[in-house]
Amino acid sequence: MKSRRFIFPLIVLGFHCAGFGATLTGRVVDNSTPPNPVANASVSLKTNGSVTYTDALGQFSLLVSTTTSKTPRAEVSSTMQIVGANLRFSSALTEKVQIDQYDLSGQKLATLLNKPFSAGSHSIALPVLMNKNALPGLCILKIHKGSETLSTSIIKIDSHAIPASNDGLGYDANGPISLSKTTASADNLLVYRFQFTPLSQSVTIGTTQNLGDIVVTRTAAEAAIERKVDSIMALPAFTIAMKAGQMTMARKSQLTDAQYASLGVGSIFNGGSDLVDVPGDTPQEWATLLDRYQNSMLTSSTLKIPMIYGQDCVHGVGTIKGCTVFPHNIGLGCTHDTALISKIAQITANEAAACGIRLNFAPCVASVRNEKWGRAYEGFGETPEINSLMGAAYVRGLQNTGTYAVAASVKHFVGDGSTTDGINGAGGTTNISEATMRAIHLPQYAACAREGMYTVMPSYSSWTHNGTKWFQSLDSLTMTQMLKRDCGFDGFCVSDWDAIPQACVAGSSNYTNSCVAQSINAGMDMAMIVSAASVTQYISAIVSQAGSAIPLSRINDAVKRILRIKFRMNLFSTPLSNSTLRAQINSPQSQAIARQAVRESLVLLKNQNNALPLKTTDKVVVVGQWANDLGAQCGGWTIDWQGKTGNTTGIVGTTILKGLQDAGGSNVTYDQAGANLSGADKVVCVVGESPYAEGNGDNLNNLDLTNVNNAGSLITTCSNSGKPVIVILISGRPLIIDTELSKCAAFVAAWLPGGQGSGIADVLYGGTYNFTGTLTNTWPASYGQIPINTGTNYADEQHGSGGAPQFAFGFGLKY
Ligand code: BGC
Ligand code: BGC
């Protein structure tokens, strides 16, 4: 029995392994008559017991622990480690250290400790630390020094003891320790759900009991929004044609301003590379264009409902010149730093809103189960836990920026990371049972829904369940049941790029009546439409079938969802770009956060004979083209859809080489081909993949570093010099590196770090910074081993040829 399932009782409601203590059951409902169930609300006891979430019927079953044996385990440890019953960490200086506990979404629960520690190693008994505050499930512990986070650990506290041995999940399991909890006869039941007033109700803990209906009330702001939505829905001018317009996301520069306005489209968007009308690709140009669209909508359309502009700002506003470019998600996952992710999302939101973009097709929360997938770098890692943590933190940062909030589009729903052979797009099919789908791919959507995610993008791909292949854009089980009902999602689903017609006929952009009806009836609320002709087809398919093949109630539901989100994010009061925010694009503060993200995302895989850290007195020769290539270090979705190599693309930032030279001064020289390494004390060799996006990155041949852009021969050249070689790998995924590992003294996975290459030098030179990143993808030892993932107990999931991985999930060395 795997306790990892414990944190998602939404899925395994009533699945409690401990058997200690009593169970509280009940139903959370809203205050309407008759009451509606509130799904996906968190229910917990303030001091005694566990946390759970309500199911689609609002029901919950909460275990009240009496005295139990608890097992804190370090799932992912950085400089903090759990050893036996102790939390161990070291501090560099005598410093006041604060240890805080956060819940899975990154919300702070408590400060556990705040006192001075002398330099050196420390060990604190866990029972002392956690007695009062720990709830079963995952929580995050962070050590802070002033405003700086020194380290982050995810700790799992189980309500039952697990044997001290390795539990097969791929990370350290530490011996059971006893944390006793006092049984309280009175406690407070806490119910929390986004958009509702938090409720605290006193309960008496006795034996197992049913608390009946627990009524929660919408916040006043939410109730007011619903009234506004209803009043717009009631306008006679809000015809079916105008409603179909709201359900349309039309591509930029395909229609005239007057056409967008007369159709009353709900949204306009662009893909990864769409520079028509913005040839210079500057924030100002984008703002001018998007404001022009909006002003036309607000003056010439019948209903004057603002459109919401959508773009992929997947690692910052990467495709607009001059904006801050952060590491891609695979690197951010390795930081395990939810507070950092929220800050990154907030900067992204500000820079997007500065350009007039208010819908971000991000975050991708795919549990990436196959490194062959060209989008492996877009997910935070292979487990639902890491994607829940990071996804929820991202949504919170993006959407909670105040009046200029940016809507998240959490994607690609659902199971995009599990397609057979990692095939992207409409050709990809996921072949797993519903139980496995719910266990591996749904929890992150439940976690983001609890943060109030505004939109979700159903995947291009399909899922074969009950013997039938269902495209996600046509599947009511996933969109309506799993997402809207089970996760309680009340925002809107927006399709992927012409995904609706492609789901009906491969490669088609033909929005036929039956295809549009199937998709909308299955739960799609808005369609991302590429051409003007397709927009006309889609709208007429809705108008001609409204009240027949497409129920009016479904159309009204879709439109209400769209309007609700536009109100929630204040689009009606802040429809235009924000010039104050524009002046702050790429500020030193934003660059500092990007640089911090690079530092924390690095994973040290090998370090022999103290090859690292570098000393400023070391003569360092830097080798490899990727050391001096901003475009390569940023990867796909930067400037262009597929990314672009080179230093003249308009990305603002610092190369890895420049960072090393800033740190090591004249002792650092560059020899791209490694032609003369005789004067070197150490050689830093930077190699990696060329940028790619989506299916162009799918790789069905091999992922051997030896063959990637000549990396094998370059590393051999370096190694033949006899000097200690430090390899820095720039890649969107783990590659097969066994040959190269044997030829180097140190190896660093740097992922796709983005604009701030200097973050790499910060850690390589040690001193202030150590490595803290740990792997969130199991690192395969061979191509045949893929797919290989941690905690693989899903009999129906694909597995490669087996054997031990090169590096386990959670691996990461430090100095
Ligand atoms: C991708 C999405 C992206 C959209 C718009 C699609 O091809 O799958 O992730 O948001 O294009 O660029
Ligand atoms: C767009 C991408 C889109 C892709 C789909 C590209 O031209 O820029 O955003 O995902 O086409 O094929």
Between CA 512 and CA 214 the distance in angstroms is: 46
- Given a cut of 50, whether residue 4 has pLDDT beyond it is no
Distance 135 CA to ligand 2 centre (A): 44
Between CA 476 and CA 281 the distance in angstroms is: 39
User: Does the Cβ of 361 fall within 6 Å of ligand 1?
Assistant: yes
Give residue 152's pLDDT band: very low, low, confident or very high (50, 70, 90): low
- Given a cut of 90, whether residue 2 has pLDDT beyond it is no
Q: CA angle 810-624-785, nearest 5°?
A: 35
169 is written with which tokens?
A: 């999940």
Q: What is the pLDDT of residue 371?
A: 98
Query: Over the stretch 321-354, which tens digit does the pLDDT of each residue have?
Result: 999 999 999 999 999 999 999 999 999 999 999 9
Q: What is the pLDDT of residue 184?
A: 53
Q: What is the pLDDT of residue 113?
A: 73
Amino acid type, 103? D
**Residue of minimum CA distance from atom 11 in ligand 1:** 497
Q: Which residues does 382 contact at the CB level (< 8 Å), separation at least 6?
A: 367, 368, 369, 417, 776, 777, 778, 789, 790, 809
Between CA 145 and CA 693 the distance in angstroms is: 39
Q: What is the pLDDT of residue 180?
A: 33
**Residue of minimum CA distance from atom 10 in ligand 1:** 361
- Given a cut of 90, whether residue 162 has pLDDT beyond it is no
Ligand 1 atom, smallest distance to 425 CA = 8
Mutate to test the pocket of ligand 2, among 497, 531, 642 (most ligand atoms within 8 A of CB): 497
Distance 499 CA to ligand 1 centre (A): 10
Between CA 358 and CA 365 the distance in angstroms is: 20
Distance 271 CA to ligand 1 centre (A): 7
Mean pLDDT of 206-232: 94
- Given a cut of 90, whether residue 744 has pLDDT beyond it is yes
- Given a cut of 50, whether residue 7 has pLDDT beyond it is no
CB 97 within 8 A of CB 117: yes
Ligand 1 atom, smallest distance to 641 CA = 12
Q: What is the pLDDT of residue 125?
A: 63
Distance 641 CA to ligand 1 centre (A): 9
CB 494 within 8 A of CB 216: no
- Given a cut of 80, whether residue 149 has pLDDT beyond it is no
Ligand 2 neighbours (beta carbon < 6 A): 271-274, 497, 641
Query: Over the stretch 747-803, which tens digit does the pLDDT of each residue have?
Result: 999 999 999 999 999 999 998 999 999 999 999 999 999 999 997 778 899 999 989
Q: From the CB of residue 69, how many other CB atoms can be counted at a distance below 10 Å?
A: 17
- Given a cut of 60, whether residue 78 has pLDDT beyond it is no
**Helices 552-568 & 513-522, crossing angle to 10 degrees?**
60
User: Does the Cβ of 413 fall within 6 Å of ligand 1?
Assistant: no
User: Does the Cβ of 312 fall within 6 Å of ligand 1?
Assistant: yes
Strand residue runs (E) in 342-452? 359-360, 407-413, 429-430
Distance 134 CA to ligand 1 centre (A): 40
Query: Over the stretch 104-118, which tens digit does the pLDDT of each residue have?
Result: 555 666 677 777 777
Q: Which ligand is nearest to the CA of 365?
A: 1
CB 621 within 8 A of CB 759: no
591 is written with which tokens?
A: 């660059």
**Helices 338-355 & 384-399, crossing angle to 10 degrees?**
40
Enzyme catalytic residues: 496, 694
- Given a cut of 70, whether residue 136 has pLDDT beyond it is no
Helix (H) or strand (E) holding 670: strand 668-670
Percent of the chain with pLDDT over 70: 84
Q: What is the pLDDT of residue 174?
A: 32
User: Does the Cβ of 272 fall within 6 Å of ligand 1?
Assistant: yes
Mean pLDDT score of the chain: 88
- Given a cut of 60, whether residue 590 has pLDDT beyond it is yes
Strands 42-45 and 186-192: antiparallel
Q: Which ligand is nearest to the CA of 411?
A: 1
Between CA 99 and CA 145 the distance in angstroms is: 9
Q: From the CB of residue 298, how many other CB atoms can be counted at a distance below 10 Å?
A: 16
The full DSSP string for 246-267 is HTEEEETTSS-HHHHHHHT-SE
Mutate to test the pocket of ligand 2, among 269, 273, 276, 692 (most ligand atoms within 8 A of CB): 273
Distance 414 CA to ligand 2 centre (A): 20
Q: What is the pLDDT of residue 669?
A: 98
How far is it between the farthest Cα atoms of the chain?
82
Give residue 277's pLDDT band: very low, low, confident or very high (50, 70, 90): very high
User: Does the Cβ of 271 fall within 6 Å of ligand 1?
Assistant: yes
**Residue of minimum CA distance from atom 7 in ligand 1:** 497
Mutate to test the pocket of ligand 2, among 361, 694, 696, 698 (most ligand atoms within 8 A of CB): 694
User: Does the Cβ of 496 fall within 6 Å of ligand 1?
Assistant: yes
User: Does the Cβ of 411 fall within 6 Å of ligand 1?
Assistant: yes
Query: Over the stretch 234-252, which tens digit does the pLDDT of each residue have?
Result: 999 999 999 999 999 999 9
User: Does the Cβ of 187 fall within 6 Å of ligand 1?
Assistant: no
Ligand 1 atom, smallest distance to 460 CA = 8
Higher pLDDT, 64 or 371: 371
Ligand 2 atom, smallest distance to 496 CA = 10
- Given a cut of 70, whether residue 61 has pLDDT beyond it is yes
Q: Of 16, 51, 56, which Cα lies nearest the Cα of 190?
A: 51
Give residue 144's pLDDT band: very low, low, confident or very high (50, 70, 90): low
Task: Show the DSSP H helices in 18-73 as ranges.
Answer: none
Percent of the chain with pLDDT over 90: 77
Distance 496 CA to ligand 1 centre (A): 6
pTM: 0.87
Highest mean pLDDT among 113-127, 176-190, 377-391: 377-391
Query: Over the stretch 617-637, which tens digit does the pLDDT of each residue have?
Result: 999 999 999 999 999 999 999
Between CA 706 and CA 729 the distance in angstroms is: 12
Query: Over the stretch 18-27, which tens digit does the pLDDT of each residue have?
Result: 334 578 899 9
Q: Which ligand is nearest to the CA of 642?
A: 2
Distance 718 CA to ligand 1 centre (A): 40
